[in-house]
Structure 1
Amino acid sequence: MKLRSFAHYALMAILLVLAACDDKNETVNIGAIYNLTGGLSSLGVPSSEGAALAVEALNERGGILGREVNLVLVDGETNPDVISEKTQELIEATENMPVIIGLTGTDTALAAARVAAGNKRVFITSGATSPLLPTDVPEYLFLACYGDNVQAAVAAEWAISELKAKTVAVLYKSDMTYTKLIRKYFEEVFKEKGGDVVLSQGYTADSLNDVAAGLPDADLIYFAASPDDVIPGITAIRGTGYTGPIASGDGFDIDENWGKLPTEDNAFFTTHADVSASNTNSQMIAFRKAYASKYPDQEPSAFSALAYDAVMLMAEATEKAGSLDAEAIREALSTLQDYQGLTGTISYKNGSRIPVKSVALFKVEDGKEVFVREITPDSVPAP
């Protein structure tokens, strides 16, 4: 009887060890939804590349919790309905996937995050900057990027202090949440600092040329645009004879597409990080080297770096939680402090799921983006 009992427990111990080994060898899946096609693909494609690079880096250093990491990438097609459907399909088809990352637009991120939260999955948006998102999707939605109220405040303060602008005409896409919000925050801070908003005019893709032609005289034009409207919009504005400064947010971060305007030298925008070869930060140098090896014909963008950070935030929170349980990861992420990311030091403070970060200011010279400096605003309007 004792012999049988010993054999029984020995067998059970072996099975437990094997089960633990099998569990340890299970792949950790990170869901990723990016707009690889459609109007936001210029941001979605480089974002997906940054996420894939981060997964490779994680696996080179041993994965997450000792397990191999796999990126499960789907195309949102810049369509909120498609995104909602694909998010649900992704969740149903993928095991060991407590976190989904992705998207660079407010409306598209909201579509995915609501489905993720409904299934109790953490969603980290790498580039959707609406500070209202965490309120729209309580508990489960985190931003890896700053909020639009932060970057708009930087642009307004800089326009007043550096450009000495006293008047501004604001042009914004009227059917896009991102553009409507960022222009609201910009106008609020510009007025607070003593500036005068002489016009705040919405446009659609069909009315862009006509609206640009009707802009009044102003020291500055703040053009809150979607990425696909930047080139045609600036072309239309310059076509009226206006030669003054044009400013915007990270919708202007369109990388090599500025080459379509080779003589443009008076456009400025706020974005998330300096990922250029001139950045001497050792972490950025290593990122650029790895990026060049994987994508030899492409330059990384700030959105590539943001997606890289989103993956690494997921890994950091999972290691801190010591578990693939989504609730444990959510709790660990909510208290993460001073994470040194490519796009800055990331901390979630006082229950906020929007990180405290600085803003990068760029200008356009000869069809290229040129880093000016990092700025933290004096004051930030409420979401």
Structure 2
Amino acid sequence: MPTFDESRDETIEILSIVPTQGPGGIIAPSCTAAISLAVDEINSGTGILGREIRLTTIDGGRKPHEVAAEVEALMATGMVGAITGWHTSAVRRAVAVAVDGRVPYLYATDHEGLPDERPGVLLVGEHPDRQIVPAAAWLSRELGVRRWAVIGNDYIWPRQTARALRRALPAPGDIVVERYVPLGTTDFRAFLHDPVLLLADAVLVLLVGADTARLNRQFTTAGLPPILPRLSPAVDENVLLSGGPSANTNLFVASSFFLDDHLTDGRARRDRYREHQGSFAPALTTFSNATYESIHLLHALADTIGTLDVPTISAHLADGITLDSPASRHGFRGNQATGPTFLAEASGVDFTIIDKLP
């Protein structure tokens, strides 16, 4: 094992952007712990390009321009080698402008699939055409769902994801109601008691963190789960715990990052996590697993290409690249990570995988 010192040449600074406030704040402890495990695993070997990872965590729960301003200040030091994290697309869009392609930026959250990402932005989470669209088709085929209601936070990812669903449906009118609310919304009665909601066969939930848990609790109080299944790409075990077991009935989730013992090294990864973090650590969840995998993907990408120079990386990714990594995402095609996506059903405060999506 190499011996690292504290000099700039021997370390690589990675910024990790996770929300420590707002509705996404319930995700942050799990993400931070998972990233810490990945960093220690990599540093116990050769690091990234022979350099020890040093991690700086930034609060991604603030307004996008505030997060971008802090990133810009840190970029000005010349010390930042890469960026990753779990945060909203609104934050990503602002940060990408501040970074301006100077370092690779691995975004570990599901995204809206727009084609105008800045150079160096690598999308580890899923494109809606590979996640929500096939998941909705599954509900149509297996449960007879034809008409949809949509409830989402009011920013770019929910609106663009709903557009992707609308494009895939047989008729535009198959979305019978579509409503967007601010981040941090606590009262969903206007949506839940809208008579038009009962014209839908299912609900697409595009809310973040604690907002989803609150919606699920109120959904259950309104007596809707038995007649209206919900589909979301933005639920992890923290959200299930926050809502409570009774709030998760008839809830379906599409993701690439389930820690299922039969599909990945889930059990071994959980054991390493508990050994690293201790018995009272936050759970290793779907979302925190995404951040864990993004650090390992960065490591594999650097080892495969031999540099973190963004133009060089972009040139290699143009035709697709396969990586040797413990992540479930096996490589990149262009700026999009590739790998399987699964559909699960909530079972109390855990998930049961029911199918692999095409």
TM-score (norm 1): 0.80
1:194-209 residue pairs with structure 2 within 5 A? Answer: 196-204=174-182, 205=185, 208-209=188-189
Pairing partner for 1:229 from 211, 218, 224: 211
2:156 maps to a residue whose letter is T
Q: Answer whether contact 1:43 1:254 (CA < 8 A) is retained.
A: no
Aligned-residue offset at 1:347:
3.0
Aligned with 2:166 (options 176, 183, 187): 187
Q: Deviations over 1:298-318 (max 9, x none)?
A: 321122222122112222222
What does 1:237-256 align with in structure 2 at a 5 Å threshold?
A: 237-242=219-224, 243-255=226-238
C-alpha distance in 2 between matches for 1:239 and 1:44: 28
Provide, for residues 172-200 of structure 1, a one-character-per-residue CA deviation record: whole Å limited to 9, x for no partner. 33x122221222222332336x9933333
Mapping of residues 22-171 of structure 1, within 5 Å: 26-93=10-77, 95=79, 97-117=80-100, 120-132=102-114, 135-171=115-151
Q: Distance in 1 between matches of 2:176 and 2:126?
A: 28
- The answer to whether the Cα contact below 8 Å between 1:166 and 1:195 also exists between their aligned partners in 2 is no
Displacement of 1:227 in angstroms is 2.0
Residue identity matched to 1:146? E
Match for residue 360 of structure 1 among 323, 342, 345: 342
Does 22-31 or 177-186 show the bigger shift?
22-31
Question: Secondary structure in 1 aligned to 2:49?
Answer: coil
Q: Which moved more, 1:282-291 or 1:151-160?
A: 282-291
Q: 1:191 is paired with a residue of what secondary structure?
A: coil
Is the CA contact 1:275–1:305 (under 8 Å) kept in the aligned structure 2? yes
Match of 1:216 among 182, 194, 198: 198
SS in 2 for 1:232: helix
SS in 1 for 2:338: coil
1:308 alignment partner in structure 2:
292
Q: Which residue among 129, 152, 157 is the counterpart of 1:172?
A: 152
| Higher helix content, 1 or 2 | 1
Structure 2 letter corresponding to 1:308:
Y
Relative to structure 1, is the Cα distance of residues 79 and 221 closer, same or farther in structure 2, using a 3 angstrom cutoff?
same
Partner residue of 1:17?
Answer: none
Q: 1:329 to 1:27 in 2, by over 3 A?
A: farther
Secondary structure of residue in 2 paired with 1:78:
coil
Native 8 Å contact 2:255 2:342 kept in 1: yes
Deviations for 1:71-118, whole angstroms, at most 9, x for unmatched residues? 2222223321221111112212352x3321123311111121211126
Counterpart secondary structure, 2:118? coil
SS in 1 for 2:20: coil
Asked if 1 retains the 8 angstrom alpha-carbon contact of 2:139 and 2:145, the reply is yes
The residue identity in structure 2 corresponding to 1:72 is: T
Aligned Cα root-mean-square deviation (Å): 2.8
Maintained 8 Å contact 2:150/2:178: yes
Distance 2:8 2:62 in 1: 36
Structure 1 residue identity aligned to 2:284: P
Is the 1:213–1:237 contact (alpha carbons within 8 Å) kept by the matching residues of 2? Answer: no
In structure 1, runs of 5+ residues without a counterpart are 1-20, 377-383
Alpha-carbon distance in structure 2 between the residues aligned to 1:334 and 1:289: 37
Structure (1 or 2) with the larger CA radius of gyration = 1
Residue type of the alignment partner of 1:88: E
Corresponding position of 2:267: 285
Residue 254 of structure 1 and its aligned partner are, at CA, apart by 4.4
What is the aligned residue count?
Answer: 346
Which stretch of structure 1 is more off in the superposition, 40-49 or 310-319? 40-49
Q: What's the secondary structure of 1:355's corresponding residue?
A: strand
Aligned residue in 2 for 1:379: none
Percent identity, aligned pairs only, is: 18
Q: Is the 8 A contact 2:217 2:243 kept in 1?
A: no
Shift of 1:22: 9.9
Per the alignment, in what secondary structure is the counterpart of residue 369 of structure 1?
Answer: strand
TM-score (structure 2 length as normaliser): 0.85
Q: Is the 8 A contact 1:103 1:128 kept in 2?
A: no
In structure 2, list runs of 5 or more residues that go unmatched. none
